[in-house]
């Protein structure tokens, strides 16, 4: 179990039942964020119940930091509402952003909902619910006539059934003022009457589909359909029924399906209290396209075309475009030079998204948390209206830590899943689509054009870096690393101070060259091993050590790796009895990001021209830079 | 699994379902525990089914008189699963 302050935040995000148990045993206030995370993630009936039990125990034990809102919910229906109400209560509670939404629940009697709605004096109304959740009797949703009846007759029966249900909703709403959530009917999952089921509206399968359709298409704005038909189809209808539970205790849903229903009701209830998100902020490299634009260039990135991966990225962009069309505002938040980042949007023929689609475009080398703040400022929207998407878990982590108001989607390693992940994220669900929604994208773009003065506020980068638990190994060049080193030397464009290319044979020669020292750097953090990420070659010229090559993967930028590299260059220069380190910056189209690298690392300017800037560092006056990286090994160390 | 082992595993299910500590024992039944009503029984049975990966037939849990008999029922259903 992790316990230090620095890693508390990641723990919250991944908490499960065991963590919540542990936090309860400690009587820790951290139990509330852990409960929220574990409850939202839980899909197993017993797990949700166990979490509900822990919540009750925590309240009873007086662990503070809990309830920040109370919702009054009445549940009525044609089945036993226990223990469904426990699941609903638990799932709604976890929707709070900062504490816990406690749901005060009143449950109607088994199959008494019609009387409860029609009787103006009933306890339903005395309870004064804010929300009513109605689960009508599934058993009654059956066509009474024959399968061979005329379709008109069958259609009338279905329409009437939907009308009656909507009428109940109307009365309940008018008498209580409550919003009404109504579950529609479960799809029939038995084969009977065989293929004939599709030829008649009288089969349970078709009849219920029609009733559900009529219900949804005619529902007024105060009625919210909990789409049991869709949820059951998604899960597999046969697994949603449980006849034994019906006979024994009048449960309508199988236990795990009851969790799906509870989750959905909670989503609807939360949407009544919280608006949906407005902005989708997107990473670029390996998110919108495959590869790194700064290194691979326009011809090298994977988007569209005839390749499977390129197709997957294009499909993701199409999904994004479909949200934009509905009024979701798009922003870019990427670690890149602006020029590199914008180029595919302007010129790549396979890109779906173009610059005009992006309301706020932040491509630079600042932390993403800062850039997301800028996006919020430019668009004049709250941070809590933004959803941030990235393929890199470390970036997701930094955003969660520093701007917890922002929701995040971690895309994971397989681009084929990106589009469905976005379409399943549930952050951008409209309650109704208006023409205003459709215009919103344009409006925000104008807003962004106006807001140009931005103040970057400082984040506590230090504690983030500490929480990453970084470890590094620096090694002199070795035989086995030669291919990877050569690859980096010939591919890296952005973080590359001299952009000197070398063949594999030339790299190999450095292994035994006494005029040079050369090393490679590996970096691992708690999310995994980043592999070989930096290469340095230094030429010793008498008392001067000249940095011939220094390149680094942009993935690990601003992790203090630069500082450790300088420490190592200086340390090894000292061992070679050098007194000065000389560094050259040779500008190219792509390496603008390291223009200031040497001065930032404490080097002094010697001379400057258009093709070369030279810096130097006196070893005598050098104090090694302090970092949060634990150095497990250094180069040319024999132990 | 012996009856004692089954009862020990049932204890974890009980801990997740009951608010107060309820000590599992062969003679214990619903009437001994105030919190243990017919509704809580539903959660309990589903929890037991998950924990032991068994499925009871309609009405048969209801027919057990105490946890000892319930444990024996679990045992029978587990054996059945093992044979299948």
Here the ipTM equals: 0.91
> Over chain A, what is the mean pLDDT?
90
Which residue out of A46, A90, A247 would a mutagenesis test of the B interface target, given it has the greatest number of B Cβ atoms within 10 Å?
A46
Q: Do A248 and B46 touch (CB under 8 A)?
A: no
Q: How far is CA A301 from CA A209, A285, A365, A486, in A?
A: 45, 9, 20, 20
Confidence category of residue A6, pLDDT binned at 50, 70, 90: very low
Could you tell me which residues of chain B have a Cβ less than 8 Å from any Cβ in chain A? Answer: 13, 16-19, 38-39, 42-43, 46-47, 50-51, 56-59, 62
Q: Look at phi and psi of residue A169 and say left if phi exceeds 0, alpha if psi is from -120 to 50, else beta.
A: alpha
Task: Assign A499 to helix, strand or coil.
Answer: coil
DSSP A161-177: HHHHHHHHHHHHHHHH-
Structure-token pair, residue B37: 């009503």
Q: Do A50 and B46 touch (CB under 8 A)?
A: no
What tens digit of pLDDT does each residue of A231-264 get?
Answer: 999 999 999 999 999 999 999 999 999 999 999 9
Nearest Cα of chain B lies from the Cα of A237 at a distance, in angstroms, of 19
Contacts of B39 in chain A (CB under 8 A): 82-83
Helices (H), A94-197: 113-118, 123-126, 151-176
Return the H-helix or E-strand segment holding A56.
helix A45-60
**Which DSSP state fits A574?**
H
Contact A496, A551 (CB under 8 A): yes
Query: Considering the entire predicted model, what is its pTM?
Result: 0.75
Q: How many CB atoms lie within 10 A of CB B11?
A: 15
What tens digit of pLDDT does each residue of A569-613 get?
Answer: 999 999 999 999 999 999 998 898 899 999 999 999 999 999 999
Find the residue in B nearest to A61 (Cα).
B19
What percentage of chain A carries pLDDT values higher than 90? 77
Distance of CA A110 to the CA centre of its chain: 40
Contacts of B19 in chain A (CB under 8 A): 53, 56-57, 60
What tens digit of pLDDT does each residue of A310-351 get?
Answer: 999 999 999 999 999 988 999 999 999 999 999 999 999 889
Residue A113 pLDDT > 50: yes
Mean pLDDT of A410-416: 95
What tens digit of pLDDT does each residue of B26-58 get?
Answer: 999 999 999 998 888 999 999 999 999 999 999
């Amino acid at each position: 179990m992790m316990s230090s302050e620095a890693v508390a935040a990641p723990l919250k995000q991944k908490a499960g039942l065991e963590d919540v148990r542990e936090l309860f045993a400690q009587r820790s206030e951290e139990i509330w964020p852990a409960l929220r995370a574990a409850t939202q993630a839980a899909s197993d009936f017993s797990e949700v119940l166990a979490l509900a039990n822990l919540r009750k125990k925590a309240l009873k034990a007086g662990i503070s930091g809990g309830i920040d809102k109370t919702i009054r919910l009445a549940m009525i229906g044609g089945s036993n509402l226990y223990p469904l109400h426990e699941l609903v209560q638990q799932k709604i509670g976890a929707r709070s952003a900062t504490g816990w939404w406690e749901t005060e629940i009143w449950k109607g009697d088994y199959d008494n909902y019609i009387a409860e709605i029609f009787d103006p004096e009933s306890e339903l109304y005395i309870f004064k619910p804010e929300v009513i959740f109605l689960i009508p009797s599934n058993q009654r949703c059956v066509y009474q006539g024959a399968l061979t009846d005329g379709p008109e007759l069958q259609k009338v029966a279905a329409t009437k059934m939907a009308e009656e249900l909507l009428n109940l909703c109307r009365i309940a709403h008018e008498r209580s003022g409550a919003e009404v959530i109504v579950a529609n009917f479960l799809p029939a999952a038995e084969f009977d009457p065989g293929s004939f089921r599709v030829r008649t509206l009288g089969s349970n399968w078709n009849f219920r589909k029609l009733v559900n359709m009529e219900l949804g298409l005619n529902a007024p704005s105060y009625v919210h359909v909990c789409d049991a038909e869709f949820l059951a189809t998604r899960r597999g209808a046969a697994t949603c029924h449980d006849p034994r539970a019906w006979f024994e205790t009048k449960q309508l849903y199988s236990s795990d399906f009851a969790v799906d229903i509870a989750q959905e009701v909670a989503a609807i209830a939360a949407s009544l209290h919280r608006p949906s998100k407005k902005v989708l902020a997107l990473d670029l490299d390996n998110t919108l396209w495959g590869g790194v634009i700064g290194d691979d260039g326009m011809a090298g990135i994977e988007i569209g075309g005839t390749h499977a991966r390129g197709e997957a990225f294009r499909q993701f962009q199409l999904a994004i475009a479909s949200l934009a069309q509905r009024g979701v505002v798009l922003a870019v938040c990427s670690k890149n030079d602006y020029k590199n980042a914008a180029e595919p949007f302007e010129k790549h023929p396979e890109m779906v998204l173009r610059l005009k689609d992006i309301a706020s475009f932040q491509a630079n080398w600042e932390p993403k948390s800062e850039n997301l703040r800028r996006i919020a400022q430019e668009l004049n929207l709250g941070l809590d209206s933004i959803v941030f998407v990235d393929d890199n878990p470390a970036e997701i982590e930094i955003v969660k830590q520093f701007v917890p108001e922002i929701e995040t989607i971690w895309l994971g390693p397989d681009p084929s899943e990106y589009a469905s992940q976005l379409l399943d994220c549930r952050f951008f669900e409209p309650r109704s689509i208006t023409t205003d929604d459709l215009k919103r994208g344009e409006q925000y773009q104008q807003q962004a054009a106006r807001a140009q003065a931005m103040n970057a506020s400082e984040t506590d980068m230090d504690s983030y870096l500490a929480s990453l638990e970084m470890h590094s190994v620096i090694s002199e060049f070795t035989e086995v690393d030669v291919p990877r080193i050569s690859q980096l030397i010939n591919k890296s464009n952005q973080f590359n101070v001299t952009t000197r290319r070398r063949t594999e044979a030339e790299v190999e020669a450095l292994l035994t060259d006494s005029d040079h020292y050369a090393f490679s750097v590996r970096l691992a953090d708690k999310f995994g091993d980043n592999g070989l990420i930096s290469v340095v070659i230094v030429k010793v010229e008498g008392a001067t050590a000249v940095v011939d090559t220094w390149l680094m993967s942009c993935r690990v930028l601003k992790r203090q790796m630069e500082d450790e590299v300088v420490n190592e260059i200086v340390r090894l220069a000292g061992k070679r009895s050098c007194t000065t380190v000389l560094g050259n910056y040779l500008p190219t189209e792509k390496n603008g990001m390291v223009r200031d690298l040497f001065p930032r690392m404490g080097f002094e300017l010697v001379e400057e021209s258009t093709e070369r800037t030279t810096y130097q560092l006196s070893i005598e006056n050098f104090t090694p830079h302090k970092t949060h990286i634990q150095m497990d090994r250094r180069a040319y160390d024999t132990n | 699994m012996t009856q004692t082992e089954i009862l020990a595993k049932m204890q974890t299910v009980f801990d997740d379902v009951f608010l107060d500590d309820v000590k599992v024992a062969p003679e214990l039944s619903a009437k001994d525990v105030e919190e243990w009503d017919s509704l809580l029984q539903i959660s309990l049975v589903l929890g037991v089914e998950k924990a032991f990966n068994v499925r009871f037939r309609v009405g048969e849990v209801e027919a057990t008189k105490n946890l000892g008999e319930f444990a024996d029922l679990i045992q029978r259903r587990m054996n059945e699963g093992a044979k299948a």
